[in-house]
Chain A
């Protein structure tokens, strides 16, 4: 059912609409503060994008995406923190030249694993490689032994708990519960003023579209179809001679790397990184953004992330009492009534009408398949 091109027409239109929305509409209508808020939300969209591949297509629910978000974020934050802790900036400390929280914790020399983060090249490599390798190790250990489903979800959750406790407990090396604050410059370029925020926003949107293209590629290649087949009937795929474990590991690693890029963007855009974005609660919230947007839809996950976060911000601003009720109710409603999220509503109810409208005007060209059909039916 899937054609061999990366996009069919309606997907291309969808991506263009998103591009116009993010690149033109939002920057023109929002002030810098709000735009930076959108940038913060979009960092979660990277995670949601990874979850579409890993959870929606691969059927692997990871409740530990906060781990990878955190690893990416901390790699970036370590680089920025080292740059902010130059000898002249930190001359009031008892040991100048090391981050302030180390000084407070009586650490006098930079720990060995901090040293390579003086280099931006190393940092960028680490943002991709550290979470990637970590996911590879976890994925190999789990999927080769055919741990899946619920058990995988709970173990990833435990990993998130472990990392949070570790970060909070090792205050001298990680900044503890406060995290890494007061990040200032990137290679001497101040990331705090308004114009820098705008530049970073566009940079982030660019990265997001690169990731969308990668996700599109995975989805439309043979790989994507094997993932779907695996989700539906794992045994049959295994009996057909495919290594199910390797495909799962790949999907998990892609999701991890996307999440890590999101985390790095978070450190750049928001200017700090803390363990409160690593643990179980944020990890589950990221899954929920994906669920609300639609676990089978790349664009749906991004809109879902933006929408839930906007709702969260505005509801908690105006009705601090009610927003948890609203959020909780939304999740229950989505799970019960719309298992495929907002994208499911769009694909099931809105798009057929639009298609009919277009089809009534002109004959349907050959090779044009409805994307809701191409996506395949959801796993039940």
Chain B
């Protein structure tokens, strides 16, 4: 199958394919970060995670429309405001959902799956009623269009680079919040031993609510970033949810490093395989490999050692 290509071509193909894999990696990391917090730390199965992302995407779309109509001069920078708004909107909705729904179900983790599935159906219909059934695309500012010409045969799209930089920034921010800040320590204390954390004076209910809000907020930012590379429809969220859960489970729930490592291995496997076979078969093989490894190593790649 390599006969038709020269060595230089092959090199460029692998670099391009690797780069496509890196964009996929950024997408997976962005999606999985929020879920790793909610599922890994809190044990809640949030099937509506995709819908929180879509909310972020719609907020971004609305912001870009606002800028286009009222502040065309500032259009180049709308994205930064949109991201903050997406974070706030999804985070606020997340906290509302935690208060109304999730906090009643902490003792029944499998039931959170059903309840959030119901929630995701309602959110999908809400999006369809408000924004219409058609997919919407965001118009990119001028500086994000085009691509960087690295060599004569390798070119790299700027929006992809932007999404990757964004991913790195958000990952560092999440790592800082979870591992260095006082609040992050409280979260991890509650996860490891809820009763003891409560006994030393941590308001566990509040920590739960903000943790869930943070996870959903990151989902919103992820959705906002997705508008850079694709369009958004009411049911787009459902497409991502299984992949995202697999990334989190494969990495080992509750391990940030594991989430990143699993996102990297899954995305690189898939984009490399995509070069050799159809996209759907590449996906099947990747998922099969993930499921197979999970059967051998049920706790995921990076299992957190805690006493149960």
Contact = CB atoms under 8 A, between A and B. Distances in A.
B17 interface: no
B128 to A, nearest CB: 8
A150 interface: yes
Contact of B110 (A150, A330, A331): A150
A329 B284 contact: no
Contacts of A325: 121-122, 125-126
B295 A328 contact: no
A149 B125 contact: no
A162 B287 contact: yes
Given A162-B291, A281-B238, A147 B298 contact: yes
A149 B110 contact: yes
Contacts of A53: none
A328 B110 contact: no
Contacts of A339: 108, 111
B255 to A, nearest CB: 14
A19 interface: no
Contacts, number: 121
B249 A331 contact: no
B71 to A, nearest CB: 34
A87 interface: no
A328 B116 CA distance: 9
Interface string A124-159: 000000000000000001100111011101110111
B15 interface: no
B290 interface: yes
B136 interface: no
B307 to A, nearest CB: 15
Given A145-B298, A154-B249, A328 B113 contact: no
A158 B110 contact: no
B82 interface: no
Query: What class of interface size applies to chain A in its complex with B?
Result: 35 or more
A200 interface: no
A47 to B, nearest CB: 15
B114 A288 contact: yes
Contacts of B108: 339, 380
A145 B292 CA distance: 13
Contacts of A153: 45, 110, 113
B50 to A, nearest CB: 11
Contacts of B99: none
A331 B115 contact: yes
B101 A332 contact: yes
A169 interface: yes
B121 A165 contact: no
Contacts of B288: 162
Contacts of B295: 141-142, 145, 147, 155
Most B CB atoms within 10 A — which of A151, A168, A330?
Answer: A151
A328 to B, nearest CB: 4
Contact of A324 (B47, B121, B291, B294): B121
A169 B118 contact: no
A194 B280 CA distance: 40
A336 interface: yes
Contacts of B291: 155, 158-159, 162
Contact of A150 (B45, B121, B126, B278): B45
B244 to A, nearest CB: 10
Contacts of B45: 150, 153-154
Interface string B111-141: 1011101111110111011000000000000
Most A CB atoms within 10 A — which of B105, B278, B298?
Answer: B298
Contact of B284 (A146, A149, A169, A324): A169
Contacts of A281: 238
B180 interface: no
B287 A161 contact: yes
Contacts of A102: none
A327 B249 contact: no
A328 B118 contact: yes
A205 B298 CA distance: 40
Given A147-B295, A161-B242, A327-B121, 10 more contacts: A145-B295, A150-B109, A153-B113, A154-B246, A158-B242, A169-B278, A287-B114, A328-B118, A328-B119, A330-B118
22 contacts: A142-B295, A145-B295, A146-B298, A147-B298, A153-B45, A153-B110, A154-B242, A154-B246, A155-B291, A158-B287, A161-B287, A162-B288, A165-B283, A166-B280, A280-B241, A287-B114, A324-B122, A325-B126, A328-B119, A328-B121, A335-B115, A380-B108
